[in-house]
Homo-oligomer: A and B are copies of this chain.
Amino acid sequence: MKTLNIILVGFGNVGRSFLRLCQEKMEFCRNRYRLDLRVQAIFELGGALFASQPLKTNEILKKYSSPSSLPESPDWKADMALTDIFHSVKPGVLVLCTASSLRDGEPGLAYIRQALDRGWNVAAADKAPLVLDFRNLKEKATQNRLTLKCSAAAAAALPTLDISLYSLAGSEIKSIEGILNGTTNYILTRMREGIDYEQALREARSKGIAEPDPSYDVNGWDTASKILIIVNSVLDTNFSLKDVKVEGITRIPSCLLDQGKEKGRALKLLGRIYRQAEKLRLEVSLNLIDSSHPLYGVDGTEKGITYLTDTMGSLTVKGGKSDPKGAAAALLKDIINIYWA
């Protein structure tokens, strides 16, 4: 049995889902993977939940339902810094569930750097630090013989990174294209069924699919972020967001919309990585696909990704839970694969 210390950073939806999953899967991880998961601290803005013993996740989940309620706990240490926690706990894995800014990647970027400098592996669900500084973070991890995993930031339960790095090992990936954002795919699916953009967006909001501010999704930036994390992880490149040609779904020409309603065709927002004149191209664009396309039928909030390779042909994966629970499951998977695989 291996004891595995966990510091959870961020107690939002994904963070709480992760804590709940740890609770539910504790026995399973002991029996199946010989891993004893111990959440030693929950770090949030303003301090940390931390005690001399592993946290009682069950009690925390019952009593506290948001970051702002954590200071009510007797174990809350106001102003405790992340580095203070590193000093007090034997290294394990830092689980990053913050939602950092795409401007500077903070606060998540600093947390990942600190963790890797102090001997902690990292499993991250927060995209921005990876979008902005993946190459350097990966190098820091490698230099320190640590692992940085980020499945949860690259379409969560859809194993976009595992497939490329593990299942396609030894193959050269010629191109990748994916439907990587549930909100836009839901809106496009509903528009194909006949309702207009505004209606579809309202519906997505009322169902909790779209964020209150959906601009990051509908303008294509979420897909662009995922494509960027995938290409830099998988093809060992160092692209940045400005290298991605990005189109959203807010201004679809009506002729395109009409074509997308034809039988056997569909309009999809695809994130694409491909070669043109020997150069890698990255783009997020609206594409009419027909029923022979491997991603045809990936509708609603479902996601999917297709890899074209030299030796394994074309491989498509679709499905995978697309919510905070799915992200939590992706984090747990990464943790298990750091220690067990």
Contacts and interface: CB of A to CB of B under 8 A. Distances in A.
A169 B340 contact: yes
Interface stretch (A89-97, A249-257, A307-315): A307-315
B340 A326 contact: no
Residues of A contacting B: mostly: mixed
A9 B328 CA distance: 43
A170 B332 contact: yes
A194 interface: no
A317 interface: yes
A25 B317 contact: no
A319 B294 contact: yes
Contacts of A28: 170, 172
Interface in A74-126: none
Contact of A336 (B169, B172, B291, B315): B169
A222 B314 CA distance: 23
Given A166-B162, A167-B333, A312 B320 contact: yes
A341 B149 CA distance: 13
A157 interface: yes
Interface string A293-337: 010110000000010000111111111111001101110110111
Interface in A150-189: 157-159, 162-163, 166-172
Most chain B CB neighbours (cut-off 10 Å) among A163, A169, A322: A169
B312 A315 contact: no
A21 interface: yes
A175 to B, nearest CB: 13
A330 B25 CA distance: 31
A4 interface: no
Interface residues of A, number: 46
Contact of A313 (B159, B319, B328): B319
A170 B316 contact: no
Interface string A16-52: 0000010001001100010000000000000000000
B166 A315 contact: no
A296 B341 CA distance: 33
Contacts of A29: 170
A5 to B, nearest CB: 17
Given A340-B169, A341-B341, A313 B333 contact: no
B317 A315 contact: yes
Contact of A170 (B313, B320, B336): B336
A335 B170 CA distance: 9
A318 B294 contact: yes
Contact of A167 (B159, B172, B291): B159
Contacts of A317: 163, 315-317
A169 B333 contact: yes
Given A294-B319, A318-B294, A170 B312 contact: no
Contacts of A337: 166, 169
A317 B167 CA distance: 11
Given A162-B166, A332-B170, A340-B169, A325 B297 contact: no
A169 to B, nearest CB: 4
